[in-house]
Structure 1
Amino acid sequence: MSAVYFLAQIRITDSNLYQKYLDKCDDIFSRCNGKYLAVDSAPEILEGNWKYSKSVLIEFPNREDFKEWYYSDDYQEILKYRLSGAACDTILVFGKEQKPGNKILIRTERLTIKPITLADASAMFEYRTKEEIFLFQTFKPGTLHEIEDFIRNSTTGFNEEGRWFQLGIFHNSTMIGDIGIHFIGPENSQCEIGYTIHPVYQKKGYGKESVIGVVNYLFKVLQKHRITASTDPQNTASIALLESLGFRKEGLFKRSLLIDGNWEDDLIYAILAEEWEYQVN
């Protein structure tokens, strides 16, 4: 959702009436999510014939916040003073929607969650090659080079439909795990998540804390509609984590995944944005 910008070009004709508008404007404005970007009574004229005596530029996070301000009863009550005391041209400009790129940074009470880099390859290799991690993973690296390729292939295209993006989970600057996000349709409105915690740091609540942080970001910042997670039916720890956060068991796909030449079952959990709002404040 893009920001919007309210631009007013003002030529004051009756300073007393315009002052009545100003006397109450800031109090009403302070109740909304708007932000003054510029208020200038002597702008530098670069081109054309400037007929105004004042320019005002205001930013709102979205069109709904702008409407809540502009069309409110309080603002409409004082607007008559501006319209009577000044000649105004106003427009609403829609900003270009910005993608977060690869600069995502999530902080929780104990953790920092951010994109992994090649500098994290050795730390990731150390826990991703342990037998207890292999038990429920499809990615089973055998060399550091495979980890490096994995990082290169999963740290571009954040929030692009069809892409997997991998984040590292850090505790006091130590990488203790990773969490992947698969951006899926329709219209990039859904995500699948997958998480891995170093065995040394398991059973300390770090997995749950990291999932809460990422899901909050996906729902509240990226405005996703639905988030799913796929797990092995025998992975009781992962199942317990998902169910503790309100994820619903949506289905069991029998022998649907081919892993190391064996057909394995796949258990799917999911939660909707409105359900997450209820489960976690």
Structure 2
Amino acid sequence: MIHTTPRLRIRPLSIGDAADFFAYRSDPEVTKFQSYHSSTLEDAQLLIRSMEGRAFGKKGEWLQLAILHLADKKVVGDLGIKPEGYDERVVEVGVTLSKAYQGQGIAKEAMGAVIQSLFQQHGVHRVLCYIDVENAPSVAMFESMGFRREGLTIQSFCNKGVWRDEYLYAVLSSEWKQ
């Protein structure tokens, strides 16, 4: 699964991305709302190696895609996609972006390209995401993309030893306007 937008190339992570991946995934501010945090470069390499050979479509299995900034020639984030175990036409998504590249529409551009492909090329019916209730920038981004808040899950996610509440957001293929 490879996509190109005016500023970005979205492609599977490769071992050559480990240093860039580690640089932003080891930043506590970037991973504040996530359970995964790279403590060492070796952690990053291990995660990337675990993704080698994965293709989109296996139920219940995350595929992490690199967000490559074309002008800067570096990986500035990653995007995760996971077909749900009960039906591969329902896909969960998530995105992580380097602090230096936040607020520039990069996450939205990358996510938009991938969601468009999920609906048009992969026959996906519904895309969903869970967002920590305190993650206002992600809430704003997904709402601006036409996602609707469908629910609130109470203490549904343990992050760094603290039980967190999350919003459930989703959009259907018939609602997608991109």
Residues in 1 aligned to 2:102 and 2:28: alpha-carbon distance in whole angstroms: 15
Cα offset for 1:185? 4.2
SS in 2 for 1:136: coil
Rounded to whole Å, the distance in 2 between the matches of 1:190 and 1:150 is 24
How many pairs are equivalent? Answer: 175
Residue of structure 2 equivalent to 1:117: 14
Find the aligned partners of 2:166 and 2:20 in 1 and give their Cα distance: 28
2:155 to 255, 265, 269: 255
The answer (yes or no) to whether the contact 1:157–1:163 under 8 Å persists in 2 is: no
Amino acid aligned to 2:49: R
1:185 and 1:248 map into 2 onto residues whose CA distance is 22
Alignment counterpart, residue 92 of structure 2, candidates 177, 188, 192: 192
Match in the other structure for 1:166: 64
Structure 2 distance, partners of 1:154, 1:269, is 26
- CA offsets, 1:82-135, max 9 Å, x none? xxxxxxxxxxxxxxxxxxxxxx21011211100011110011000111121121
Aligned residues of 1:127 and 1:198 also touching (Cα < 8 A):
yes
How far is 1:158 from its partner? 2.2
Counterpart Cα distance in 2 of 1:258 and 1:154: 24
Among 108, 111, 129, the alignment partner of 1:208 is 108
Matched, 1:267 2:167: yes
2:88 is paired with a residue whose SS is coil
Per-residue deviation, 1:261: 1.7
* Matching residue of 2:33: 136
Structure 1 114/250 Cα, relative in aligned 2: closer, same or farther at 3 Å? same
The residue matched to 1:134 in structure 2 has which SS? coil
1:191 offset after TM fit, Å? 0.6
Q: Verify the 8 A CA contact 1:106 1:113 in the aligned structure 2.
A: yes
Instruction: Measure how far apart 1:260 and its partner are.
Output: 1.8
- Provide the TM-score with structure 1 as the length reference: 0.60
Q: Give the distance between the partners of 1:154 and 1:232, measured in 2 at CA.
A: 25
Q: CA deviation at 1:153?
A: 2.1
Find the residue that maps to 1:189 and give its secondary structure.
strand
Percent of aligned positions that are identical: 36
Name which structure has the greater RCO, CA cutoff 8 Å, separation 6+.
2
The equivalent of 2:137 in structure 1 is 237
Give structure 1 stretches of 5+ with no counterpart: 1-103
Q: CA offsets per residue over residues 193-242 of structure 1, 9 Å max, x none? A: 01011111111110110110010011011010100011111111000000
C-alpha deviation, 1:162, in angstroms: 1.5
Task: Report the equivalent of 1:35.
Answer: none
TM-score by length of 2: 0.94
Identify which of 166, 183, 193 aligns with 2:83.
Answer: 183
Map 1:33-48 → 2, pairs under 5 A:
none
Q: Matched residue of 1:255: which SS?
A: strand
Q: For 1:148 and 1:209, how far apart are their aligned partners in 2?
A: 26
Flag the structure with larger Rg.
1
Deviation by residue 1:144-173 (Cα, 9 ceiling, x = unmatched): 111111112234142111110010001122
Query: What is the distance in 1 between the residues matched to 2:112 and 2:62?
Result: 19
> Which one-letter code corresponds to 1:273 in the other structure?
S
